[in-house]
Amino acid sequence: PGLDIVIRDVEGERHGVQTFREAIINSCNVATVQVGGKILNTLGKEEMYNQLRNIGFGRLSGVDLPGETPGILPRAKDWSLISPYQFPIGQGLGVNIFQMVKALNVFPSGGQFITPTFVRAIRSGEGLTNIPKKVDGTLFSPELVSTMLPILESVVIEGTGTMARVDGIRIAGKTGTAQKAGPGGYNEETYYSLFYGFFPVENPTYTLYIMIDTPKAGAYYGGFVAAPMFASIVRNLYGIGVEKEIYEGVYSWKMPDLGGYSLLDVREIAEIYGVDKIVIHGSGCVISQYPEIGQPVEDRFEVWLGELSYDIRDNGGQ
C-alpha cells in the first residue's frame, strides 16, 4: 500500500505461481519480495529488524581478522516503505562476506550460529593447540534445517545453480546476482556475481562463498559466472579431473608436492587422497617426502619436517 514500484525477475522472465521451494530454486525475485511482505505483516518492522540483527547483519561477525566493518542495516525507524521488500533481494543494506557465510552456514551446521575463523590451531614449543569453534547460539531448529537442506540441494540439481554440480558429490547452495550501488542508486550495468555452497550434503565439511566483482565476460548472473568457479574449486579439492596414471594395472593418483606444507595441511591432503597412514619425522614444515612428486600414491605418506631454507643469490640486479 502506498507504493508505486514494480518488481520484476531478470530480463522479463515470468515464473508464474511459485511455492516457497520453487522460489528458492528458481531465484524468483517477485516471490522473494512477497516473502518479505509476509514477514513484515507477521512480525512488524521492529521485530523484523531484530531478526536481521540476530542473523548477524548490521554488526561485526567476530571473525579473527582486523578491519571488519559492521555493514549497513538501517534502524527500523529509518526504513522507507520499500525497505522490507528490498532486503530479501539484497538491496537497501550492506553485508560483508563473513556476515553472509556466518548466516548461511546455519544450514550445514544444523542451525548453529558459528563465527568464521582464520586460525585453526597455534603451534608453540609446547605443541599444537587447536582453537575451538565459537558457537554464538542456535538460530534455527533442526526441523527447519532439515526442510531447507533439500531445497538448497535442489538449487544445484535443477535450479539456477546447476553449473556448480560436480559428479559424485552432493552439493547444496544458492546463486546470487547483485547490482552494485553507486552515486544516485543502483547501477544497472555493474554487478556482483555470487554463489554460496557447502558439501558434501550428507556430512557438511566445506563451505565456499564465491563473489566476482564486476564480471567482464558479458554474463554476470551468479549461476553462470560464480557457480562454475565453485565447481572448479571442488573438483580440484577432491582431485577430480586431476591427472592419473596407470600403475601396475590400476589407476592411481600422482603424488602431489608437499614441500613447505604444515603437518595439518598434509593430514588434509592425505584425507583427500584416501591415505590413512602418515609417517612423520621431525617438526616444522615438509622438506622431504615419500612417495616422490609425480610418483603413484601408495598406502602411506612419509614426510620429513624441518625449517625451510632459501638459497638467495645475486642475480645481477635482474
Highest mean pLDDT among 6-10, 16-20, 234-238, 249-253: 16-20
Q: Is the pLDDT of residue 169 over 80?
A: yes
Angle between helical axes of 29-43 and 45-54 (0-180°, round to 10): 110
Cell of 128: 599444537
Q: Is the pLDDT of residue 246 over 70?
A: no
Q: What is the pLDDT of residue 249?
A: 36
Greater confidence, 317 or 196? Answer: 196
For residue 225, CA distances in Å to 100, 228, 315 come to 19, 6, 42
Distance, CA of 161 to chain centre: 13
The mean pLDDT value of the chain amounts to: 85
Nearest one of 272, 256, 265 to 305, comparing CA atoms: 265
Query: Any idea how long the chain is?
Result: 318
On whether the CB atoms of residues 223 and 161 are closer than 8 A, the answer is yes
Q: What is the pLDDT of residues 290-306, one digit of tens each?
A: 988 878 877 888 988 88
Indicate the CATH number for domain 1-114: 3.40.710.10
For residue 149, the tally of other CB atoms under 10 A from its CB is 19
How far is 33 from 102, CA to CA, in rounded Å?
A: 23
Q: Would you list the domain boundaries of the chain?
A: 1-114, 141-246, 254-306
Nearest one of 154, 213, 171, 224 to 10, comparing CA atoms: 224
Q: What is the pLDDT of residue 121?
A: 85
Averaged pLDDT, 3-12: 67
Superfamily of domain 141-246: DD-peptidase/beta-lactamase superfamily (3.40.710.10)
Q: Is the pLDDT of residue 1 over 60?
A: no
What is the pTM (predicted TM-score) of this model? 0.73
Could you please report the per-residue DSSP string of 85-146? HHGGGT-SSB--HHHHHHHHTTTTTTTEEE---S--EEEETTEEEEPPP-EEEE-S-HHHHH
Distance, CA of 133 to chain centre: 17
Taking each continuous run of H as one helix and of E as one strand, the counts in the chain are: 8, 12
Indicate the CATH number for domain 254-306: 3.30.10.20
Answer whether 141-246 and 254-306 agree in fold. no
Q: Is the pLDDT of residue 251 over 70?
A: no
Of 225-229, 249-253, 256-260, 313-317, the range with the lowest mean pLDDT is: 313-317
Q: What is the pLDDT of residues 69-103, one digit of tens each?
A: 999 999 999 999 999 999 998 889 999 999 999 99
